[in-house]
Amino acid sequence: MTDKVSISDRKKEILKQVVNSYLETAEPVGSRVVAKRSNLGLSSATIRNCMADLEEEGLLFQPHTSAGRLPTEAGLKFFVQHLMEKAPLSWGEQVAIEKEMLKDLDDFSSVLKKAARLLASLTGYAAVVSAPSELDDRLEFIEFVGIKAGLILVVMVSTSGTVRNQLIKTNREISPETLERFSKMMNELIKDFTLAEIRDQLIESMQEDKRLFENLLLHIVPDSREKHLTGELYIDGKLNLLDEPEFAHVTKLRSLLEALEEKHLLLKLLERCLAGEELQIFIGKEVDSGMSSCGMVVAPYEKGDHPVGSLGVLGPMRMNYPRVVSIVEYIASILSSRAKEM
């Protein structure tokens, strides 16, 4: 809807001031407030007429007759797409963020956790950060260990220090000698390929037990059509949402916390951001039909020339988008720098 709306510069300025006031106060905005905030030199009566027009166009609404106006979901979307001016971070804030993010942390997982904590503390909302997909990570070591008949443990250590253990069930009994041979072949290949590239290379090079090894690999390296773009998810600041009036209702808060706990929805949104390769803002039903009171700002971070993970801030639909966008973009840029070091 917002892409099809065409309004005059005067109405754009009035909508901009209504939204800015609403983001600051969470209260309906009257014509007098707009008159004071804008430099249009219009009377309150003229502003009221323009606000009525914006209401007809679906960008504002009036909660009750005697109240001022509030932006609709479409009005907020129009604002962030066409009218929003980012609130730049101060030099002191930039220095403080860099000091925290550039510390010599043990591994990239620690850097990502730090990014989530900073996002939550600086915005006052919930923060989510996804690790690079394991399929795009390079491995330092991999081993297949037989636990018992029909059960194999796979131990994978990435060059960034991440350790992942995975149990694989198989209908065939595989001897320790065969598993040792498979581990040796894998460790030779990981010197040159990412996990996503290994399967095809290994299958091409194998002369015997091809079907057996292919089935094992499919458990740890999915087909590219099934590949998930994001890895592990780090969440911080969930309790910040308790302070927001939009989530005072127990049912709304419960559904939101459940979504944060299950992570499926957040992963889907982060993957959408990776696919788009740019910062995106989701508002209301764009987040999820069951989370229509929310807004989310998401941006990718890169390693080399392609995005490998995402970070975002989840809060009420009335979040401070101008400031949140600046914070998310700045931390994403630092994460991209740190990712190159790993």
pLDDT tens for 51-77 read 999 999 999 999 887 778 999 999 999
pLDDT(227) > 50? no
Tell me which CATH code domain 2-83 carries.
Answer: 1.10.10.10
Tens-place pLDDT, residues 12-27: 999 999 999 999 888 8
pLDDT(322) > 50? yes
* pLDDT value at residue 85: 92
Tens-place pLDDT, residues 119-171: 999 999 999 998 876 555 667 888 888 888 888 888 888 776 667 787 888 77
Question: Residue 303's beta-bridge partner residues?
Answer: 306
* pLDDT value at residue 34: 92
pTM for the whole structure: 0.73
158's enclosing H/E stretch is: strand 151-158
* pLDDT value at residue 226: 40
Q: Which residues contact 255 (CB under 8 A, 6 or more apart)?
A: 290, 291
* pLDDT value at residue 2: 47
Which CATH code, of 3.30.450.40, 3.40.50.300, 3.30.70.2740, 3.40.50.1970, is assigned to 91-132+231-341?
3.30.450.40
Q: Could you tell me which residue, 315 or 261, shows the higher pLDDT?
A: 315
Distance between CA atoms of residues 319 and 316, nearest Å? 5
Residues forming CATH 3.30.450.40 domain(s) in the chain: 91-132+231-341
Residues forming CATH 3.30.390.60 domain(s) in the chain: 139-226
182 pLDDT band, cuts 50/70/90, is: confident
Which CATH code, of 3.30.390.60, 3.10.180.10, 1.20.1250.20, 3.40.50.11540, is assigned to 139-226?
3.30.390.60
List Cα–Cα distances, 154 to 148, 158, 231, in angstroms: 13, 13, 17
Helix axes 91-101, 108-123, angle to 10 degrees: 150
Question: Residue 127's beta-bridge partner residues?
Answer: 236, 313
The mean pLDDT value of the chain amounts to 82
Give percent of the chain with pLDDT exceeding 70: 82
Look at the block and give the residue holding tokens 């993010």.
101
Burial 99-129 (b: 16+ CB within 10 A, else e): ebbeeeeeebbebbbbbbbbbbebbbbbbbb
